[in-house]
Amino acid sequence: MRILLATVFNYPHTGGLSTHMTTLKAGLEQLGHEVETLSFSDLPYYKQQFFAKGPSFFMNRMAPGKGILLGHKLRSGMLRDMIKKKHEDKPYDIVNAQDIYATFAALETPVPTVTTVHGYMTYEAISRGSIKTESVEARVLQAKEREAYEQTRQIITVDFRIRDYVKNLAAADGIRVHNFIDVDQFRPQTERKQELREKYGFAEDDHIVFIPRRLTKKNGVIYPAKALPTIQEQFPKTRLIYAGSGEEEAAIRTICEKNSTISTVHFLGDIPHELMKDYYAMSDITMVPSVHSEGVEEATSISALEAMGSGVPVIASKVGGLKEIVQHGENGLLVEEKNDEQIADAVCQLLRYHDFGQRLAVKARLKIEEEYSHISAATKYSSIYETVLSKVST
């Protein structure tokens, strides 16, 4: 099959959607399919600025929230035109849209379209502060979600909660294919731990807690910073490394400065995905401290999967899809959301009892190999595509 993975957002970028596209593409290609990606990033820079970002920015200044909707609509129209042109040059068999506005773009072309739903678009926009709760913009965006889910030929969701959300919103049935990783790329590399610490400027006896999350409210990234003083009472050489950017960075810095821990907290910003495996390998613990925020729950976290695949002990919040992949005391540790005391206790437990952490990590790697391989997921996606195309041809 000739398959297009499409999004109105930038690609590649930092975040799960981009990682999902890259890894799915690799898996489908290993199965023999021809796969292309198309995104907002494929537009010329001047078009991005003058025909989407600029109008969206100025509209948002005049009427907060409306600019977001306008920006999505403009991006969708430009993506539609790109899909049509590329399809005319060399036809696609199917488009797998990665968001609702890519769905609208693809639906205006002759190509059969399926949609992967990665989250709760309206609630996530509210959580980010892009639109306000119960505003006209929130109602419009949720209506657009409903419309996309009703019109696409097949919905694929990355966890059961999102599948149920789509069902409740649009009475549309989705197929759950949970998130996945490249198990060959994200694998244990304990032999490189000290080499990588030297490369990135960390000491052999540092206790490194890695937080590979966008710095946004729903990811709960402020709570490890709140827990750090308690952790450092027992393990003074503990360091936090944040990989990601976002609106919560200022709040994290404020807390760390207040607690005099800022010198032991490192902000990497957005880093290339291929570098993530280095940071997993050099870390003692990976933390995924997600929280409920404006109705948004963590899906099957790709960051957690990558850490588990890399053989790093994981501490995660007991929310959303994290509860599906982490079994407390079996292949990781779960803590209550927004609970910095439990975070501190869990970190200290893993730092104090190294062998216990390694047992968790070994079992986590086995789970990833058995259940979360990108080849297994690509096979499921391929089967879904074939089923949709068989219905189109009859």
CATH code 3.40.50.2000 region(s) in the chain: 2-180+373-393, 190-371
Residue 193, pLDDT score: 96
265-267 sheet: strands from edge to edge? 265-267, 238-242, 207-211, 285-288, 314-317, 333-335
394 pLDDT above the threshold of 80: no
Convert the pLDDT of each residue in 204-246 to its tens digit. 999 999 999 999 999 999 999 999 999 999 999 999 999 999 9
- Scored b (16 or more CB within 10 A) or e, 17-30 reads bbbbbbbbbbbbee
State the pLDDT at residue 131. 93
Give the pLDDT score at 224: 99
Percent of the chain surpassing pLDDT 90: 90
Average pLDDT over residues 2-20: 92
Q: What are 98-153's pLDDT values in tens digits?
A: 999 999 999 999 999 999 999 999 999 998 889 999 999 999 999 999 999 999 99
Q: What is the pLDDT of residue 376?
A: 94
- What's the CATH architecture for 2-180+373-393? 3-Layer(aba) Sandwich (3.40)
- Predicted local confidence at residue 176, as pLDDT: 95
Categorize the per-residue pLDDT at 45 as very low, low, confident or very high, splitting at 50, 70 and 90.
Answer: very high
pLDDT at 5 over 70: yes
The pLDDT assigned to 236 comes to 98
Q: In sequence order, what DSSP letters do the residues of 139-173 get, joined into one string?
A: HHHHHHHHHHHHHSSEEEESSHHHHHHHHHHH---
Closest CA to 284 of 226, 361, 231: 361
For the chain, give the mean pLDDT: 95
Class of domain 190-371: alpha beta
pLDDT digits (tens, 9 = 90+) for 254-302: 999 999 999 999 999 999 999 999 999 999 999 999 998 777 777 778 9
Please give the pLDDT value at position 393.
Answer: 76
Q: How far is the first Cα of the chain from the last one, in angstroms, to the nearest whole number?
A: 18
Looking at residues 245-252, what average pLDDT do you find? 96
